[in-house]
Amino acid sequence: MRSLSMIAENIEKIRAELPEDVKLIAVSKLKPVEDIQEAYAASQRAFGENYATELRDKAAVMPKDIEWHFIGHLQGKQLKYYIPFVSMIHGVDSIEHLEEVEKAAAKVGRVVDVLLQVHVAQEETKFGFLPEEVENGKWKVESELPHVRVCGVMGMASHTEDEARVRADFRRIHEIFDRLKTGSFANHPEFKEISMGMSHDWRIAVEEGSTMIRLGTSIFGARDYSNAGKMPALQ
């Protein structure tokens, strides 16, 4: 049985290794509010959620100084649940989704920070813009999408034990970021984030330039996926 201090201990160990300029996103999907409260007590303030209504319900009962990051696959009809307060949306993987975020943000009068998700991994099931789509795109979001602020890129490496492949994937994501930073977003100081790295590969991601890592299992332990997306509303 997990001791009450294990989450705090895990966060402390990760922070001891993590460079000061890399943000830790604690992925709390499918974890109870009590676990988030324990992480919060350990001074963790940035949390990542994958399911819209779960994010909405947790935010309603947790302290208001939490940064909520939506890291799941974006669905336009569910934006209304978190668009009024979300700090950043990590997985914008199409022009259509950018436009949906624009419409939802305009309705509530916000400018919402997003990351462009790029697909470099071997698995076809993963989402994201193909590298050539991102690099060759005509990004004029400041004029066409005034309620969206593109702050960088997000991506995942191939799920493999081949460290060289994982490193190559992260390096490719960073190269895409660099080309955008010196191209379409050259005059956008907010374009500075590279979100890559999870519990099994975050150290490689940091070595390859990640500015945000998304850790769940390393902080909270294994999770039960049997009720994924079906969590009841919190009271």
Residue 133, pLDDT score: 83
CA dihedral 132, 167, 193, 17 (to 10 degrees): 180
In this prediction the pTM is 0.90
- Residues 85 and 97: their CA atoms lie apart, in Å, by 18
Residue 125, pLDDT score: 61
pLDDT, tens digit, for every residue of 133-183? 877 766 766 668 999 999 999 999 998 999 999 999 999 999 999 999 998
- The mean-pLDDT minimum among 25-29, 93-97, 124-128, 215-219 falls in 124-128
pLDDT, tens digit, for every residue of 22-38? 999 999 999 999 999 99
Residue 233 has pLDDT above 50, yes or no: no
Residue 132, pLDDT score: 82
The per-residue DSSP string of 83-151 comes to TTT-SEEEEE-SHHHHHHHHHHHHHHT--EEEEEEE--SS-TTS--B-HHHHHH----HHHH-TTEEEE
- Residues 4 and 132: their CA atoms lie apart, in Å, by 47
Residue 128: which residues within 8 A CB-CB, separation 6 or more? 91, 93, 117, 118, 119, 120, 155
Residue 92, pLDDT score: 93
Tell me if 132 is assigned to some domain: yes
Structural domains of the chain, count: 1
Q: What percent of the chain has pLDDT over 70?
A: 88
235 pLDDT tier (thresholds 50, 70, 90): very low
CATH number, residue 55: 3.20.20.10
Tell me if 51 is assigned to some domain: yes
Tell me if 226 is assigned to some domain: no
Tell me if 202 is assigned to some domain: yes
Closest residue by Cα to residue 28 from 218, 226, 232: 218
Q: Is the C-alpha dihedral spanning 66, 198, 75, 190 positive or negative?
A: positive
Averaged pLDDT of the chain: 90
SS3 23: strand
Tell me if 81 is assigned to some domain: yes
* DSSP tag of 231: P
Tell me if 171 is assigned to some domain: yes
Q: Is 45 exposed, middle or buried, given 0-12, 13-18 or 19+ CB atoms closer than 10 A?
A: middle
Burial profile 141-176: b = 16 or more Cβ within 10 angstroms, e = fewer: beeebebbbbbbbbbbbeeeeeeeebbebbbbbbeb
Residue 105 has pLDDT above 80, yes or no: yes
Residue 3 has pLDDT above 60, yes or no: no
Structural domain including 67 reads: 6-220
Question: Cβ distance 11 to 24 under 8 Å?
Answer: yes
Tell me if 1 is assigned to some domain: no
Tell me if 235 is assigned to some domain: no
* DSSP tag of 67: E
61 pLDDT tier (thresholds 50, 70, 90): very high
- The mean-pLDDT minimum among 95-99, 137-141, 156-160, 210-214 falls in 137-141
Closest residue by Cα to residue 79 from 50, 55, 101, 110: 101
Query: Two tokens at 128?
Result: 């994201």
Angle at 84 between CA 134 and CA 7, to 5 degrees: 85
Residue 155, pLDDT score: 95
Residue 134, pLDDT score: 79
